[in-house]
Chains A and B, each alone.
Chain A
């Protein structure tokens, strides 16, 4: 028999995270939205509290100090994290990229371990003004000169780029080879001469965390700063983004939508118009039913893709499918949430307005819906749909 049950200890972990999010994190949301900044002292205290509970860097292996969760477990936890804002999640529970496992020798002490401990913040810099969906078209280049790599180029929309202690920079090291051995990842510390944060780019949502423009002008870094093998940067990036994408877009979208549905449901039961709860009107019922259907579908898709990753199988198609479906599902559910609440949904007094704005980017970043649809279509045309 195939067992879809969530084991008791995982449920316990989910319960711990859920209570922590509800009691400690969600109350901070209005302040962050209003100020556009995170309250630093509170963030530090909460991060320490999360660390004491082992809730920091849960996706990383236990050998390096992480939580050692499987992909399925990570997704179950990320679903709960999705019930608050990305800005808060990043600082309290850590934004630690599995790609850092490629750290070698001195890099381990310098980058991997302090990031898992929460002492250093990492940002990943791929996107450029002329290379968005077409990541392979990046222009930032690194040339070898007198014992050092010299970086030149411009990155933008780099999440956490403003606060990161170091950045993983994707740069071209061989123009002819490009994605086939010509793209390399560099670990570049904040404060390295030639590396500047040009500005924080104002966004529709995501208040409380920055998307920054980074500039590299004759920025010299030593050969020890290469993450993974020289020329293998594109492959390393593509290999490790699947699990992150699944957790951060797929699972968090499910959690965020679930929160919207809970708000909708309560409101539909309580709000009385024309002498009856609005939940008795079929137009409202349809919005609730459709949301429940789509959330359930997305949730099962997330867990199945996560399980596939845990089996060591190639889950890229499944993750693309989840990425499109979950982000679009969230957009629809957030929209219905606002609609069910009417004027209150549009006001800033409720979290719906923020969720509506924050949700929009999930269809854009980490591969647009169009790019993922293209990948899915190509794969299906070539091999058919493999379940």
Chain B
């Protein structure tokens, strides 16, 4: 069984995000990038499936600029077998990503596609769902447990009210939540091996996909600065303010 994992290169979660002066986006120059943490969880899950003998091959795909190869290399060092890099310097929105992944699925024929539930840069949380719709496959989103059986996969999902388990027919799409697993440290031998693993390069044109943006970003702004709090003298005053000033009770 082949597993396809999509990974995105994002601004590292430790970086303090700054909006560009011209408000067209966030500052990405001289900023540390790394693999989207939810995608790391996706890679870890795929590698575990391979180690358990369930998966035979783990293929990692990333869409983005030349440096996205580094993100693929990271996944290879964690244990994935080979990479596919769809090179583009353009902004690629979730629908375009889903279309590109659909084209890659058509070439690769995976039984399972695992992606992060969202990327921590734009927080869209759309790609997995859109891909499932485009392919007409089952989807198990926000997975905290993935259990592969013969021809099906049981996915435990983190929903607002608790946990929900769905049985999906394979092939299927799974999107990973935070508690699915804890990604491993990349070991030195695997890092060394990763240097030699193949990464195929392709482009949106070669895959026959139109990735033109359907949405236009008008303006990116910093969140409003936090106002200092007020101290209240008594519970009665607090209740009064909540009721009459904040109007939340």
A residues adjacent to B (C-beta < 8 A) = 8-9, 12-13, 15-16, 19-20, 52-55, 58, 62, 67-69
Q: State which of B48-56, B154-162, B186-194 sits at the interface with chain A.
A: B186-194
Q: Is there an interface contact between B187 and A12, defined as CB atoms closer than 8 Å?
A: no
A47: min CB distance to chain B, Å: 15
Question: Can you list 28 A-B contacts with CB-CB less than 8 angstroms, sorted by A residue number?
Answer: A8-B70, A8-B73, A8-B74, A9-B191, A9-B195, A12-B73, A12-B77, A12-B186, A12-B191, A13-B186, A13-B188, A13-B191, A15-B186, A16-B188, A16-B191, A19-B185, A20-B185, A52-B187, A53-B185, A53-B187, A53-B188, A54-B188, A54-B189, A54-B190, A54-B191, A54-B192, A67-B188, A69-B188
Q: Once bound together, how far apart are the Cα atoms of A69 and B192, in whole Å?
A: 9
Q: Once bound together, how far apart are the Cα atoms of A348 and B45, in whole Å?
A: 43
Count of chain B residues with Cβ under 8 Å from any Cβ of A? 14
Q: Which residue of B lies closest to A53 (CB)?
A: B187
Chain A residue contacts of B73, Cβ below 8 A: 8-9, 12
Chain A residue contacts of B194, Cβ below 8 A: 9
Q: Is there an interface contact between A16 and B74, defined as CB atoms closer than 8 Å?
A: no
Q: Once bound together, how far apart are the Cα atoms of A67 and B187, in whole Å?
A: 10
Q: Is there an interface contact between A12 and B74, defined as CB atoms closer than 8 Å?
A: yes
B31: min CB distance to chain A, Å: 14
Q: Which residue of B lies closest to A8 (CB)?
A: B70
Chain B residue contacts of A68, Cβ below 8 A: 192
B67: min CB distance to chain A, Å: 8
Give the contacts of B100-140 with A (CB-CB under 8 A): none
A83: min CB distance to chain B, Å: 16
Q: Once bound together, how far apart are the Cα atoms of A54 and B188, in whole Å?
A: 5
Q: Is there an interface contact between B186 and A16, defined as CB atoms closer than 8 Å?
A: yes
Chain B residue contacts of A16, Cβ below 8 A: 185-188, 191
Q: Which residue of B lies closest to A69 (CB)?
A: B188
Q: Is there an interface contact between B187 and A58, defined as CB atoms closer than 8 Å?
A: no
B residues adjacent to A (C-beta < 8 A) = 70, 73-74, 77, 185-192, 194-195
Chain B residue contacts of A9, Cβ below 8 A: 73, 77, 191, 194-195
Q: Once bound together, how far apart are the Cα atoms of A58 and B191, in whole Å?
A: 13
Known: A16-B186, A55-B188. 13 other contacts (CB 8 A): A8-B73, A9-B73, A9-B194, A9-B195, A12-B74, A16-B187, A20-B185, A53-B185, A54-B189, A54-B191, A54-B192, A55-B187, A67-B188
Q: Once bound together, how far apart are the Cα atoms of A13 and B188, in whole Å?
A: 7
A26: min CB distance to chain B, Å: 15
B74: min CB distance to chain A, Å: 6
List the 4 closest A-B pairs by CB distance, nearest first.
Answer: A54-B188, A8-B70, A53-B187, A16-B185
Q: Once bound together, how far apart are the Cα atoms of A15 and B73, in whole Å?
A: 14
Q: Once bound together, how far apart are the Cα atoms of A9 and B70, in whole Å?
A: 8
Contact of A54 among B70, B74, B187, B195 (CB under 8 A): B187
Q: Is there an interface contact between B70 and A58, defined as CB atoms closer than 8 Å?
A: no
Q: Once bound together, how far apart are the Cα atoms of A67 and B188, in whole Å?
A: 7
Chain A residue contacts of B188, Cβ below 8 A: 13, 16, 53-55, 58, 67, 69
Q: Once bound together, how far apart are the Cα atoms of A52 and B186, in whole Å?
A: 11
Q: Which residue of B lies closest to A11 (CB)?
A: B70
Q: Once bound together, how far apart are the Cα atoms of A12 and B195, in whole Å?
A: 12
A297: min CB distance to chain B, Å: 21
A201: min CB distance to chain B, Å: 35
B55: min CB distance to chain A, Å: 22
Q: Which residue of A lies closest to B70 (CB)?
A: A8
Q: Once bound together, how far apart are the Cα atoms of A53 and B185, in whole Å?
A: 8
Residue of B74, B77, B187 most packed against chain A (CB within 10 A): B187
Q: Which residue of B lies closest to A23 (CB)?
A: B185
Chain B residue contacts of A58, Cβ below 8 A: 188
A7: min CB distance to chain B, Å: 9
Q: Which residue of B lies closest to A66 (CB)?
A: B188
Q: Once bound together, how far apart are the Cα atoms of A53 and B187, in whole Å?
A: 4
Q: Once bound together, how far apart are the Cα atoms of A67 and B186, in whole Å?
A: 13
Chain A residue contacts of B192, Cβ below 8 A: 54, 62, 68
Q: Once bound together, how far apart are the Cα atoms of A67 and B193, in whole Å?
A: 12
Chain B residue contacts of A67, Cβ below 8 A: 188
Chain B residue contacts of A15, Cβ below 8 A: 186
Q: Which residue of A lies closest to B189 (CB)?
A: A54
B116: min CB distance to chain A, Å: 19
Residue of B185, B190, B191, B192 most packed against chain A (CB within 10 A): B185
Q: Which residue of A lies closest to B77 (CB)?
A: A12
Q: Once bound together, how far apart are the Cα atoms of A53 and B79, in whole Å?
A: 12
A12: min CB distance to chain B, Å: 5
Q: Once bound together, how far apart are the Cα atoms of A23 and B192, in whole Å?
A: 23
Q: Once bound together, how far apart are the Cα atoms of A58 and B194, in whole Å?
A: 17
Chain B residue contacts of A53, Cβ below 8 A: 185, 187-188
Q: Which residue of A lies closest to B72 (CB)?
A: A8
Q: Which residue of A lies closest to B188 (CB)?
A: A54
Residue of A13, A20, A58, A62 most packed against chain B (CB within 10 A): A13
Q: Which residue of B lies closest to A9 (CB)?
A: B191
Q: Which residue of A lies closest to B78 (CB)?
A: A12
